[in-house]
């Protein structure tokens, strides 16, 4: 019995990692498919796995949707020749992809993705580690991801990766501030006097049972979203890679599986970012604002809450991809201008505004 | 000198400065594109429609009676800008082909190096015999450089037969056979 309680968290963690990695792979596919649809193309539609791909009608549909491509992509990265350029700083060069990937995968430990009722009928989150500093943990760990980029840029010992890394660092630091300030009003609201959730993400979701935060804190949501795009290095803030001016950005000197790890890390960040946005502003697994959750009790309700949460996350991922294929990249100085001169003051103003609103609200209701 | 009029650029409105309406309209454009029909051609299975007068690879053609039209005048060889054409002229054996003996020459070898060819069509333009045409074939591949030098047989096979409204050499022969021939 004691062994079981030790073993189960490990099993859960492995399960979550495998699901998460699959999601990453299929996010890559979604990116390729959505961009091709936006550009009037058909996208990847050739890879076919022998037996499943040859089932008469279904096989053709699956192939045309490109559903076998993630496997082909992954295997391609595995079987490519591992090239290490002669001019790199070896240990850091090998360390960088790991440093990039680990924070992206670590943050999911505190991510609640559904809810269940325990024996006493109390709502509990489906989560690996139910800590009450969830958002702090995520902010702290996810920004460690930039170390992977910096290490890669520096260890590559070559100018374009270095420029990409430097830009990315500056961008991360600039937007971290606005990001942190923009979610303070969220926690001012969710950790209301009398609640015992503190900074946990579960508490934020529970506080949105009737009203999604995006509806009454649209300012915070907008600032957070822009900062999120910057933190995940997505277009229009694609400073770390900016293929047009930096060749391939920080991973120019990487190939084969090491590049694959950067690639997975990038998409892991997108999924985590989407999930956090859904939790903070889009009501998590709650059905629709103002409508009570229609989930039945029992195992079905648990699954439906998770599926609804995942649906919202996929919608956010689609938004990320959609944005990327609609927007040009900002110039570097414009990124800095937007970060320091616009978003940061806006975030502070937003914070002060909601301090007043929430304190007046509390005065009136208590 | 024409007078230039400097147009005043209107200052951006507040909404434009925030980029948000612009981003939204951009997003709407790309989103509407998702539902449009794709323009992709599934290439090896689907082939594009080749318009007439397309300049594919140069090929040698035969006339409708199955005779090689080239008389190895070598004009195409001289005009070819990248020097892709090599012709070895030789005499037509008058014993074997008595009805073609008056043409005098035919190529015994006709090589076009497809790696050098730039598809300019000058060979087709210069050919007095209408014997070389750039046709609709456009995708070539080979495993070696030697393989990409197309010889006479291959070029004739690719060229096929094109209609001929003149039968120039038949007319010449008729004229020669007449008394008081001017030729």
Among A79, A108, A143, which residue terminates a domain?
A: A79
Among A49, A79, A109, which residue terminates a domain?
A: A79
One domain for residues A30 and A160: no
One domain for residues A179 and A293: yes
Please name each of the domains of chain B with its CATH number. 58-167 (3.30.70.3270)
One domain for residues A174 and A273: yes
One domain for residues A38 and A97: no
* Residue A1 reports pLDDT greater than 80: no
Cα B134 from Cα B122, distance rounded (Å): 10
Residues in chain B: 183
Residues 6 or more apart whose Cβ sits within 8 Å of residue A56: none
One domain for residues A228 and A324: yes
What residues of chain B lie within 8 A of the CB of A38, using their CB? Answer: 30-31, 33-34
Please give the residue range of the domain that contains residue A31.
1-79
One domain for residues A240 and A308: yes
Average pLDDT, chain A: 84
State pLDDT tens for residues A203-230.
788 777 778 888 888 888 899 999 988 8
Please give the share of chain A, as a percent, with pLDDT higher than 90: 8
One domain for residues A68 and A195: no
One domain for residues A222 and A291: yes
Q: pTM (2 decimals)?
A: 0.81
Mean pLDDT of A265-287: 87
A230 closest CA partner among A178, A265, A160: A178
Say if CB A86 and CB A48 are below 8 A apart.
no
One domain for residues A65 and A94: no
**CB distance B38–A34 less than 8 Å?**
no
State pLDDT tens for residues A121-157.
777 777 777 777 878 888 888 888 888 888 888 888 8
One domain for residues A206 and A349: yes
Among A28, A57, A79, which residue terminates a domain?
A: A79
What is the DSSP secondary structure assignment for residue A341, as one 8-state letter? I
**A30, A34, A40, best to mutate vs chain B, most B CBs in 10 Å:** A40
Q: How many domains does chain A have?
A: 2
One domain for residues A66 and A144: no
Distance from CA of A35 to the nearest CA of B (A): 9
One domain for residues A129 and A174: yes
SS3 of residue B129 by DSSP: coil
**A326, A328, A335, best to mutate vs chain B, most B CBs in 10 Å:** A326
State pLDDT tens for residues A8-38.
888 888 888 888 888 888 999 999 999 899 9
Interface pTM, i.e. ipTM:
0.78
State pLDDT tens for residues A48-105.
888 887 888 888 888 888 888 888 888 888 898 888 888 888 888 888 888 888 888 8
* Residue B123 reports pLDDT greater than 70: yes
What residues of chain A lie within 8 A of the CB of B17, using their CB? Answer: none
Cα A154 from Cα A148, distance rounded (Å): 10
* Residue B57 reports pLDDT greater than 70: yes
Mean pLDDT of A184-196: 77
Residue B85's DSSP bridge partners are B112
């Amino acid at each position: 019995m004691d062994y079981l309680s030790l073993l189960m968290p490990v099993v859960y963690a492995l399960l979550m990692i495998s699901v998460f990695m699959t999601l990453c792979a299929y996010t890559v596919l979604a990116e390729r498919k959505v961009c091709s649809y936006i550009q009037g193309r058909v996208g990847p539609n050739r890879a076919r796995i022998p037996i499943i791909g040859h089932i008469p009608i279904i096989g053709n549909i699956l192939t045309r949707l490109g559903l076998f491509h993630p496997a082909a992509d992954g295997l391609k990265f595995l079987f490519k020749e591992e090239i290490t350029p002669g001019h790199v700083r070896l240990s850091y060069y090998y360390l960088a992809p790991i440093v990039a990937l680990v924070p992206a995968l670590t943050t999911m430990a505190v991510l609640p993705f559904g809810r269940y009722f325990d024996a006493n009928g109390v709502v509990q989150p489906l989560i690996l580690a139910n800590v009450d500093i969830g958002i702090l943990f995520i902010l702290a760990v996810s920004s460690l991801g930039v170390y992977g980029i910096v290490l890669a840029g520096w260890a590559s010992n070559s100018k374009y990766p270095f420029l990409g890394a430097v830009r990315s660092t500056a961008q991360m630091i600039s937007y971290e501030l606005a990001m942190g300030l923009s979610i303070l009003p969220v926690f001012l609201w969710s950790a209301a006097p009398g609640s015992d959730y503190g900074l946990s993400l579960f508490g934020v979701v529970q506080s949105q049972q009737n009203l999604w935060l995006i509806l009454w804190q649209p300012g915070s949501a907008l600032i957070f979203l822009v900062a999120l795009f910057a933190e995940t290095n997505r277009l229009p803030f694609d400073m770390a890679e900016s293929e047009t001016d930096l060749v391939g950005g920080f991973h120019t000197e990487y190939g084969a599986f090491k590049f694959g790890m950067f690639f997975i890390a990038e998409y892991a960040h997108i999924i985590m970012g989407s999930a956090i946005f859904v939790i903070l502003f889009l009501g998590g697994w709650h059905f629709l604002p103002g409508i009570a959750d229609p989930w039945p009790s029992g195992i079905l309700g648990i699954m439906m809450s998770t599926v609804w949460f995942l649906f919202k996350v996929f919608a956010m991922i689609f938004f990320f991809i959609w944005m990327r294929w609609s927007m040009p990249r900002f110039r570097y100085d414009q990124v800095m201008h937007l970060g320091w001169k616009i978003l940061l003051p806006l975030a502070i103003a937003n914070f002060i505004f909601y301090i007043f609103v929430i304190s007046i609200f509390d005065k009136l209701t208590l | 000198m024409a007078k230039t009029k400097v147009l005043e650029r209107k200052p951006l409105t507040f909404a434009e400065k925030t980029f948000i309406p612009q981003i939204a309209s951009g997003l709407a454009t790309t989103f509407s594109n998702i539902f449009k029909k794709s323009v992709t051609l599934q290439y090896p299975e689907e082939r594009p429609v080749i318009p007439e007068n397309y300049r594919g690879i140069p090929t040698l053609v035969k006339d409708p009676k199955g005779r090689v039209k080239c008389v190895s005048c070598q004009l195409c060889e001289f005009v070819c800008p990248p020097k892709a054409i090599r012709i070895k002229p030789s005499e037509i054996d008058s014993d074997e082909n008595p009805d073609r003996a008056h043409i005098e020459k035919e190529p015994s070898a006709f090589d076009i190096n497809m790696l050098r060819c730039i598809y300019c069509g000058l060979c087709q333009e210069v050919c007095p015999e209408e014997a070389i045409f750039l046709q609709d074939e456009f995708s070539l591949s080979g495993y070696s450089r030697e393989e990409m030098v197309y010889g006479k047989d291959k070029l004739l096979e690719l060229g096929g037969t094109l209609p001929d409204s003149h039968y120039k050499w038949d007319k010449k022969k008729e004229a020669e056979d007449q008394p008081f021939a001017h030729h």
